[in-house]
Chain A
Amino acid sequence: MTSGTDQQVLVASEGDVVTARRRIREYAIAAGFSLTDVTRIVTAASELTRNLHLHAGGGRVSWKTVLDGDRVGMEMSFVDEGPGIADLERAFEPGYTSGRGLGMGLSGSKRLMDEIEIDSAPGHGTVVVARKWLR
C-alpha cells in the first residue's frame, strides 16, 4: 500500500474538532467520494476527533490518500498520548464508554468506515487508523 502526503490538524480545543471536520469534508469531496460516503467519513472523523478531545486532552488528526493495487482510498489517523485503553475488545462494543459520551464512537465509526485499526495500551496513548475505499 502506498500513500500520498499527510494533511493534519492538531486538536487542542473544540474549535479544532470543527476545523478537522471541515477540512476532512473538503478532502473527501475532492477525492471523489459520494455525498453519503463523505457524510460517513466526516461523521466517523467527528466521533474519533471528539474522543481525542474528551478522553486524551487532545492529539493529532491526519489524513491522506492511499493506494492498494487498483483501489484508491482515504486514510485517517487519530493519535493521542492520553491514558490509553485497557480493554480494546470492549472498546468496540456499542454502548461501552469510559465516561462521557454515548460509547458509540469506536463501534459506530467501525460501521461507517471500511477498515478501522486501533493500537493502545494503558499509559501509552492510542492510535486509531480508519480507511474508506472509493467504489
Chain B
Amino acid sequence: MNPTSVSAVEWPPAAGPVQRAGLYAWVSTVDHKRIGILYLLTALVFFAVAGLLALVMRLQLAQPNNHLISPEAYNQLFTMHGTTMVFLVGMPMLVGFGNYLVPLMIGARDMAFPRLNALGYWLFLLGGLLLYFSFLAGGAPAAGWFSYAPLSEAPYSPGSGVDYWITALLILGAGSIAGAVNLVATVLALRAPGMTLRKLPLFVWMSLVTALLIIFALPALNASIIMLLIDRQLAASFFRATEGGSSLLWQHFFWAFGHPEVYILALPAFGMISEVIPVFSRKPIFGYEFVAGSGVVIGLLSFAVWAHHMFTVGMGHPAETFFGLASMLIAVPTGVKIFNWIATMWGGTIRFTTAMLFAIAFILQFTIGGLSGITFTTVPADWQTTDSYYVVAHFHYVLIGGTLFGTYAGLYYWFPKMSGRMLSERLGRWHFWLSVISFNLTFSVQHVLGLMGMPRRVYTYPDLPYWGSLNLISTAGAVLSAVAVLVLLWNVVASLRRGRLAGDNPWEAWTLEWAATSPPAEHNFERVPPVRSRRPLWDLMHPEAPDPEIRSPGRQDNLPLERNVVGMWCFILTEATFFLMLIAAYVYYDLFVVGGPDESHVLDRKLTVIFTVCLLSSSATLYAAERSLRRGWRGGFQAWLALTVVLGAVFLLGQGHEYWDLLHRGVDVNSSLFATSFYTLTGFHGLHVLVGLLALSVLFWIAWRGEVRPEREEAVRSLSLYWHFVDVVWIFVFGTIYVVGPAL
C-alpha cells in the first residue's frame, strides 16, 4: 500500500461494466455491497426458517408427555436448528455486514478479490440448500449440530442425513474461508492513504480478528468432517471405538474448531457495538487500544481452551483443572471490553435510539451469558449442568443476547446507509421491547429447568413438579419472539417503501462509510476524506477542534503489502492448519492403535526417498524460473518451469506406484487405521500436488505463448509460494510417516 504503487495503477474506465438491471444484476454482481446485501437477505430467510424449527420444538415442549411431533422429527429439528443458526445465520449475517461495511470503512473501492467474494456467497447458498435438501432425500441429519461420533457413524445414523450435513458444511467451510482470505487481504492491502492499522474502526478490527479465526479454525472442522465422511462412505473407522478408532478424537477435533467458532460469532457483534455506542453517546470510544487489543487476546485464547467442552468425557483431573483455569481467563479480556463500553457511555450525551437500546441490552444480556459461562469452568459444577437446559440457557444468552442483539443494533445503525431510508423508530421500539421481554421469558427460566435436572435434546419430559409450568412460560416467550421478528420484518418492508430519507450521515457519525452517499455509489467514494485520526468525519466537521493526530510509529502501521501475496499467505495458513490436523490424526492412530498392516511392514522407504528428492528439487527449479523471469530471460523461465512440471509429475507417478503396490498387497483404505490415515494424509497431499501441477502447466502454456511478462511477476510469485508450501508440507508428511512414525 505504498503511495507509488497507488499512483502507478491505471484507472479503469469510469462506467465499468455495462449496467444491468433487475434480477440479473443481482445474480451476476461482484459488487461488495450487493453481495453483502445478498448475504444478509439469505441469512434472514434462514433465520426465519430456523426460528420456525425452534418454535415447533417449543410447542412440543409446552407441556409434559406431549406428542405433537415424533422423537425422530424432534432430533432432526434441533440438529437443523443448531446447524442453521451457526452456519447459515450467524456467520453469513456477520460476513454480510463485513462485506458491505469493511471496504467502505477503510476507504476502499471493493474487496480485494471481487469474484472470489461472489463465489463465497454462491457457495454459501449452495451449502444451505444442500443441507435443507436432506429433508427430501430421506431425512435431515439428527445427530446434533456437533454430530458426536459414534452416533454420527453409519451404523447408528444410517440415512443420508449426516452425509448431507458433511457435504453442506464442507461447502460452507470453503465459502467461509474464501470470504475470510478476502477480508484479510482487503484490510491489509487496500486501505485508503492515512488509514493505518491503528486508526482502523473497531468493527474492522474485530472483523479482521474474526477472519483470522476462520482461517485457523475452519480447517479443523473440514479435516474432522472429511474423516467422518471417509468413515461413512469407505467403511473406515477413524471414530468408531468398536473397530479400534476413537470417538474422543472427534470431540477434540470438533471443539478445536467449535470453541473459536463461538468467538467467530461474537467478535463482529463486539465490533458493531463498539461503533454504535460512541456515536450515540457523542464521545469517542473509551480505550480504543483496549477494545482492539482484547479482541486479539480473546482470539488467541480461544484456541487454548477447547477442552472445556469435554469435562465429562474422562480426560482425567489434571487436564480438567488446567482447562478450567485457562477458561476462566477468557472472562478478563471480555470484562475489559464491557468496562470500556460502560466508560464510553459514562458522562456522554446518550441518545436512546433503537440501535443504542439494543447495544445497551447487548451489554446487560451478554454479561449474564458470560457469567453463566464462567460457572462451567468450575469442573464439578459443569458435571452437574452439562447437557442440561442450563447450557441451553447459557449459550442462547451469548448468541441471542450477545450476537443477535448486537447485529440488531448494527442493522438499525447501518440500514440508512444501505437503503437510503431510516427504519421507523416507533416500530423499532416495539421490536426492541418485544425482543428483550420475549427473549428473557424464553431463556431465563431454562436456567432453572436445567438446575432442576431437565436434560437438553429430549423430545418430551415427565410431569415433574414445576417442569410443565416453566416450560410453558418458555414456550410463551418463544411465541412472543416470533411476533418480535414479524415486527422487525414489517419495519424493514415498510421503511424500504416509505421510510424517511436518510441523507449521507443521519447519525452524525465519524467513520468513513458515512462520507459516501446513502446508498453508496457503485464505486463507493468520489474522494476519500483525509484520515489523520480515528474519527475522520469529526475532523472534517470540526476543523476548529480536531482529534489529536495518530502518527505512525515505524512502517508496521502501513506495510506495503500486495493483495495477491497476502491472499496466498492466508490460504497457505489455512491449508497448513488442515494438514496439521491430518498429521495429528496420523500420529494419534500410530500411537494408540495396534493391529493390521502398519508402516514398518508395508512401506518402501527407499523408493519414496527418490520421489521426495524430485519434489523438493522442483522447488529449486521453480525458484530458478522465477529468477529468470525477474531478469527478463524468457527462455530460461520456460525451461526451468518445464523442468518443475516434470519433477512434480514424477513425484505423482511415484505416489501412484506406491498406491498401486499397496493395493495389490491387500492394503485397502479400511484395512487398518494406519492404512486409513496413511491414504488420507498422503492422498490429500497428492491432491494438492496435482492442483499445483495443473496451475503450473497452465502457467507454462501461457509462458509458451509468450504472455508472461516480468511485470506480472506477483502472479507467478503467489503460485510459486503455493508450490513451495506443498513441498514443505511433504517434508512434514514424509518425516511423520517414513521417519518418525516407524520409531514410535
A and B co-occur in one complex: no
**Residues of A participating in the B interface, judged by any CB pair closer than 8 Å:** none
**Residues of B participating in the A interface, judged by any CB pair closer than 8 Å:** none
